[in-house]
Amino acid sequence: MQRPLILVSNDDGITATGIKVLVNVMKELGEVVVVAPDSPQSGMGHAITIGNTLRLTETDIFKDVRAYKCSGTPADCVKLGKFHVLKDRRPDLVVSGINHGSNTSISVLYSGTMSAAVEGAMEGLPAIGYSLCDYDTDADFSHTEDYVKKIAIQVLERGTPKGIALNVNFPPKQRESLKGIKICRQAHAKWQEEFDQRYDPNGRRYFWLAGNFVNFDKGEDNDEWAIANNYVSVVPCQYDLTAHHAISTLNEWDF
């Protein structure tokens, strides 16, 4: 049988540790093609490049894996991967990550990692975004590899519901082993932002985004609870943002 074709991207950039781990795991499952940003694109969400040129350059960074670095966003990378690099072939799976940092709860909206996965889902492709809840530049990814592989195998064998991308988050490496996988909902949590006002050496004012993450959710069926209790969280995400339950309410308004 022909090996599955797997398109790999991320938002931390093609030189990040997390994507190297992901590529090595995916190589065990199929033929891998990488299209990833040439520089970090964290927090880009689902931005696409429409007013500037896009550059795509082949690279041997992964040696035996066909790979390209792209000047655009994670969503750009998946678009170029599907419609240009693999224009005569259809990927069996799109995977993104492994992100350096959490993409639980509200962070999924800002995440370039998940936007790459969602872009795949928008094209009708099974897609997964992987993130490690550890922002350390020397973070240990070793405990994620078996679960990355296990989840990808399930998606390759079973597919995903139409228009769905899986948001997978891993707790930081701890002494004890991970407890397993929890299928979750997105937690009701958010960043309470602050803008730190500063001045450059020329006296010109600028701002630096800061703030604290606040979890309002007391449930035990959400991704924040899963991570806090040393489980791998898996949240099925969709790009249809319609609040279907609100349609009947709006239909009662006097327009």
pTM surpassing 0.85? yes
Q: Which residues fall within 8 angstroms of residue 79, CB to CB, at 6 or more apart?
A: 48, 119
pLDDT, residue 178, reads 96
Q: What mean pLDDT do residues 177-191 have?
A: 94
Residue range 66-99, pLDDT digits in tens: 999 999 999 999 999 999 999 999 999 999 999 9
Superfamily of domain 5-187+219-250: Survival protein SurE-like phosphatase/nucleotidase (3.40.1210.10)
Torsion of CA 82, 85, 88, 93, to 10 degrees: -40
Q: Where are the domains of the chain?
A: 5-187+219-250
Short-list 22, 2, 39, CA closest to 168: 22
Residue range 13-33, pLDDT digits in tens: 999 999 999 999 999 999 999
* Whether residue 1 has pLDDT greater than 70: no
Q: What percent of the chain has pLDDT over 70?
A: 100
